[in-house]
């Protein structure tokens, strides 16, 4: 056996030690903590991006922290530009928004930024590394799984309803840490309500995902067919069936090119903890597409009102009605079998009312009617206008709920276009779900420094409302998808972010909305 020369042995030992040090986790004291906070509330700001002159980029976690231990940047002055959509660093140097910090291991610097958004960004709810930097700094995150929960790295489009004393939460496509293809058959989780073991929504949400025992990843909740193709759910609701609560939803199965191959209704099986096929309906049938829904009492009848993005579809809140396409009604001014005729009163104005055996309107159809001159925008109850500029606000999707604090129906909506493709969020209110919807105020932007991101499918969570409805919560999907560039934000991309809105904010003072078009009241059975 040959003996290695001492010099070579020493070199190999040094190399092994270097490798060991490189893979060993640095101690909290080895990091310089940068805490980006709201200059008014002092709360950490998620999604603030700091960049050096060498283009090294760092993004704050949900506590507003960056844990810095970067060779070449420690123990000397370092310039950081600071940017966060809807926020601004007050200090400027030669037109740049940023500041100089001296990173020293074991120390912490606080950076105060000013919120321009009316709504406040709170935290990321899903994905890997929600509290990554908090953990690296040796601090305790407020949620149970601050680094990784059930291997989930990304989730698209949330729905949530009260069910069995808690919340039943579901998402669409779900990314997986161990493979480029994740779950395309709906991911779901249980959530405890605040006051019943759940967190205060200002702190966070603990998701208890339904697990796949074989892989430890999330369970496929809607794998209904032997044929391949993602199966998505929407219109999640709870209705009485034979005296018990039945959780159910609408499904759509897609194939190549995202072409819809099948649609219909599913019911949730509590024993199997999965959705089961109830019935398919023709692809031409659009009357069952409630999307996000709200429970409403109108004319002495309880209904589910569906939104996409306005409440122009409803069905009585019974299992028999929800499963019968003929029981659905559309709020429209169109009549006749061809749906081309505008119903008008004696003065020539369109008559908007609930009609049976009528397919619901869509954003595209409504825009076509206005563009063709068949109806005027001012005669349409769904005509939001920017209260600051007077410009029309065309919506993508929204949710509407009764708000006790404002004593009105309040809408949180995403804009179709605007300053970003799908990244602008608006607030509006009306005296009835049917409207008229008129004045709107922008509350969130996802545009910054010649860059933009999308934030689509916003959803309110009325069961999280606080102080008599004064504080409301909503979330949406944050991603670079649809922006025209491929510049995803690490950890945050394709995930859910929670915001809150204080309805007492003087910037939300809107003109008195017109009288409502119905006697609709909130259902005593709740939002869902």
Alpha-carbon distances, residue 33 vs 27, 61, 105, 124 (angstroms) = 13, 12, 8, 20
Q: Show pLDDT as tens, one digit a residue, over the chain (528 residues).
A: 333 343 433 434 444 444 344 434 689 999 999 999 999 999 999 999 999 999 999 999 999 999 999 999 999 999 999 999 999 998 776 778 899 999 999 999 999 999 999 999 999 999 999 999 999 999 999 999 999 999 999 999 999 999 999 999 999 999 999 999 999 999 999 999 999 999 999 999 999 999 999 999 999 999 999 888 999 999 999 999 999 999 999 999 998 888 999 999 999 999 999 999 999 999 999 899 999 999 999 999 999 999 989 999 999 999 999 999 999 999 999 987 677 899 999 999 999 999 998 989 988 999 999 999 999 999 999 999 999 999 999 999 999 999 999 999 999 999 998 899 899 999 999 999 999 999 999 999 998 766 789 999 999 999 999 999 999 999 999 999 888 776 889 999 999 999 999 999 999 999 999 999 999 999 988 765
Given a contact cutoff of 8 angstroms between Cβ atoms, the answer to whether 422 and 482 are in contact is yes
Which of 118, 142, 160 terminates a domain? The answer is 118
Residue located via tokens 């670079």: 480
Please give the tally of structural domains in the chain: 2
CA dist 491 and 260 (Å) reads 31
> Which residue intervals of 435-492 are DSSP H helices?
none
CA–CA dist 476, 25 (Å, integer): 34
In a domain, 48, yes or no: yes
Residue 156, domain member (yes or no): no
Residue 45: CATH number of its domain: 2.60.40.1120
Q: Is there a domain that residue 515 lies in?
A: yes
* Domain end among 70, 89, 118: 118
Q: Is residue 353 part of a domain?
A: yes
In order of 26, 121, 206, 370, 407, the CA distances from 198 in angstroms are: 33, 20, 7, 46, 27
Q: Is there a domain that residue 79 lies in?
A: yes
Which among 100, 44, 99, 117 is positioned nearest to 448, based on CA atoms?
117
**Domain membership flag for residue 91:** yes
Q: Does any domain span residue 342?
A: yes
The first and second tokens of residue 378, run together, are 């001012």
Determine the Cα–Cα distance for residues 427 and 35; give it in Å rounded to an integer: 30
Closest alpha carbon to 335 in 303, 301, 369: 369
Tell me the helix, strand and coil percentages in the chain, rounded to 5: 10, 45, 45
Looking at 85, 118, 151, the residue that finishes a domain is 118
Output the pLDDT for position 450.
63
Residue linked to tokens 């690490």? 490
Backbone angles phi, psi at 282, to 5 degrees: -55, 145
Domain of residue 476: give its range: 328-528
Least Cα distance to 61 among 76, 74, 50 occurs for 50
Give whole-number Cα distances, 227 to 65, 187, 224, in Å.
46, 19, 9
Tokens of 461: 């969570």
Do residues 56 and 133 lie in contact, with contact meaning Cβ atoms separated by under 8 Å? no
**Lookup: tokens for 116:** 């321009």
Encode 123-168 in three state secondary structure: EECCCCCCCHHHHHCCCCCCCCCCCCCCCEEEECCEEEEEECCEEE
Query: Is 309 among the domain residues?
Result: no
- Closest of 394, 299, 391, 375 to residue 334, by C-alpha: 375
Structure tokens belonging to residue 21: 């040090």
**Location of structure tokens 């929670």:** 498
């Amino acid at each position: 056996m040959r003996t290695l020369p001492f010099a070579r042995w020493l070199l190999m030992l040094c190399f092994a030690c270097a490798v060991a040090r490189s893979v060993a986790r640095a101690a909290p004291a080895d990091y310089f903590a940068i805490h980006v906070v709201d200059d008014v509330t002092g709360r950490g700001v998620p999604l603030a991006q700091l960049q050096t002159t060498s283009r090294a980029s760092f993004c704050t976690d949900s506590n507003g922290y960056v844990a810095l231990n970067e060779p070449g940047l420690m123990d000397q002055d370092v310039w950081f530009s600071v940017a966060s959509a809807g926020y601004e660093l007050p200090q400027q140097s030669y037109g740049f928004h940023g500041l100089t910090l001296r990173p020293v291991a074991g120390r912490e610097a606080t950076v105060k930024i000013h919120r321009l958004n009316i709504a406040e960004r709170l935290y990321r709810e899903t994905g890997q590394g929600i509290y990554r930097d908090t953990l690296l700094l040796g601090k305790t995150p407020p949620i149970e799984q601050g680094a990784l929960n059930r291997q989930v790295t990304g989730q698209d489009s949330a729905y949530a309803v009260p069910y069995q004393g808690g919340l039943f939460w579901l998402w669409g496509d779900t990314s997986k840490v161990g493979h480029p293809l994740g779950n395309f058959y709906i991911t779901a989780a249980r959530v405890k309500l605040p006051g019943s073991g759940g967190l205060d929504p200002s702190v966070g949400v603990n998701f208890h995902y339904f697990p796949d025992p074989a892989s430890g990843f999330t369970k496929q909740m809607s794998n209904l067919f032997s044929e391949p193709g993602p199966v998505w759910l929407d219109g999640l609701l709870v209705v009485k069936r034979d005296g018990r609560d039945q959780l159910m939803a609408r499904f759509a199965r897609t194939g190549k090119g995202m072409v819809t191959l099948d649609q219909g209704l599913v019911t949730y099986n509590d024993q199997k903890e999965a959705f089961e096929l109830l019935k398919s309906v023709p692809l031409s049938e659009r009357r069952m597409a409630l999307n996000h829904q709200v429970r409403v009492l109108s004319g002495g009848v309880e209904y589910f009102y569906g939104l996409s993005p306005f409440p122009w579809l409803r069905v009585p809140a019974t299992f028999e009605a929800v499963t019968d396409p003929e029981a659905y009604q559309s709020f429209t001014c169109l009549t006749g079998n061809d749906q081309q005729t505008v119903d008008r009163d004696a003065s020539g104005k369109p008559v908007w009312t609930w009609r049976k055996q009528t397919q619901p309107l869509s954003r595209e159809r409504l825009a076509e009617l206005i563009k063709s001159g068949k109806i005027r925008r001012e005669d349409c109850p769904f005509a939001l206008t920017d209260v600051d500029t007077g410009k029309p606000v065309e919506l993508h999707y929204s949710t509407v709920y009764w708000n006790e604090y404002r004593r009105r129906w309040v809408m949180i909506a995403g804009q179709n276009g605007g300053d970003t493709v799908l990244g602008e969020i608006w607030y509006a209110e009306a005296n009835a779900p049917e409207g008229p919807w008129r004045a709107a105020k922008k509350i969130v932007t996802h545009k910054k420094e010649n860059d933009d991101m999308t934030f689509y499918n916003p959803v309110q969570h009325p069961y999280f409302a606080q102080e008599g409805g004064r504080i409301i919560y909503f979330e949406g999907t944050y991603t670079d998808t649809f922006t025209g560039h491929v510049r995803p934000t690490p950890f945050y991309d394709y995930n859910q972010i929670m915001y809150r809105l204080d309805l007492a904010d003087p910037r939300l003072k809107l003109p008195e909305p017109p009288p409502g078009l119905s006697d609709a009241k909130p259902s005593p059975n709740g939002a869902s």
